[in-house]
């Protein structure tokens, strides 16, 4: 993409990697999913959003090129880290797009840092344990680095060739999901910004949960797309060769942000 700059910022005790693409007034902040990098979640979507304007893509604690801290990962801390980065960049108002765990982080930004928010887009994310498909939490304690999706491991090592760092990220992601804490429904109801909720019809989070989320956030819009977790935005583990669905989703995202 044009006008890309790659940088680091010291925020809340970590060295956070971020990229700025293109120019514009209110930026769109892209927040990746668990176990992911900017490229693995947004490598195919970023070029489709280039006509939007300024894009700020981040990598969260222990992910990709961002350093770790001596503390567990939490969605609240990730939200605070993104907010601190925007304050560092002197961004007063932004739109936010989060995928999967990044979507839960986006909800926390809308709850904890309202002053920064213009609009939010929540993709394939849940605010409570009931929002995940059956078996998700039962299987999580048995997850190992060996059965982590090979593409995600490849994507991590491409930008951060550190196998110990990969293991640290995996273990912290795993512990966060095992101990996933519900966000109180009243806090979700307190989100008052224009919101677009997107979910696949065969996603890791359920369609019923996406509908519930759309009812709790007053005035939000809901899009259910044919596809699996991430396939409809071209996420690296689930890209469908030749599919035009990411183009269609990107068009809807751009129109929502106008």
Q: Tell me what percent of the residues of the chain surpass a pLDDT of 70.
A: 99
Model confidence pLDDT, tens digit, residues 87-137 = 999 999 999 999 999 999 999 999 999 999 999 999 999 999 999 999 999
The pTM for the full model equals 0.97
Q: Which two tokens stand for residue 41?
A: 């979640």
Q: How many CA atoms lie within 13 A of 17 on its CB side?
A: 17
pLDDT of residue 1: 46
3-state secondary structure of 16: strand
Strand residues in 170-237 grouped as ranges (E) = 195-202, 221-228
For the stretch 43-53, pLDDT in tens is: 999 999 988 99
DSSP secondary structure letters along 125-161: --SSGGGBPTTHHHHGGG--GGGS-HHHHHHHHHHS-
Instruction: State mean pLDDT over 26-52.
Output: 96
Q: Please give the angle made by the CA atoms of 92, 96 and 100, to the nearest 5 degrees.
A: 150
Give domain 5-257's CATH superfamily: Alpha/Beta hydrolase fold, catalytic domain (3.40.50.1820)
Instruction: At 204, give phi and psi (nearest 5°).
Output: -75, -25
Report yes or no: 169 and 63 within 8 Å, Cβ to Cβ: yes
């Amino acid at each position: 993409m044009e006008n890309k700059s790659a940088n680091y910022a010291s925020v809340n005790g970590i060295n956070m990697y971020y990229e700025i693409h293109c120019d514009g007034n209110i930026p769109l902040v892209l927040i990746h999913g668990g176990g992911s990098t900017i490229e693995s979640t947004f490598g195919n979507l970023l070029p489709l959003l280039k006509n939007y304007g300024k894009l700020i893509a981040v990598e969260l604690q222990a992910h990709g090129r961002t350093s770790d801290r001596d503390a567990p990962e939490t969605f609240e801390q990730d939200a605070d880290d993104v907010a601190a980065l925007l304050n560092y960049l002197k961004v007063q108002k932004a739109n936010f797009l989060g995928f999967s765990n990044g979507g839960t982080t986006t909800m926390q930004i809308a709850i904890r840092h309202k002053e920064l928010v213009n609009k939010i887009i929540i993709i394939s994310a849940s605010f409570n344990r009931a929002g995940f498909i059956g078996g998700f939490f039962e299987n999580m304690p048995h997850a190992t680095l060996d059965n982590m999706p090979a593409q995600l491991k490849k994507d991590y090592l491409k930008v951060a060739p550190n196998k110990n760092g990969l293991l640290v990220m995996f273990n912290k992601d795993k512990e966060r999901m095992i101990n996933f804490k519900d966000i109180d429904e009243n806090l979700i109801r307190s989100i008052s910004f224009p919101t677009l909720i997107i979910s696949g019809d065969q996603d890791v989070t359920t369609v019923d949960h996406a509908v519930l989320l759309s009812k709790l956030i007053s005035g939000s819009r809901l899009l259910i797309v044919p596809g699996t977790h991430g396939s409809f935005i071209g996420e690296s583990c689930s890209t469908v060769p030749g599919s035009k669905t990411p183009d269609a989703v990107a068009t809807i995202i751009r129109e929502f942000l106008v």
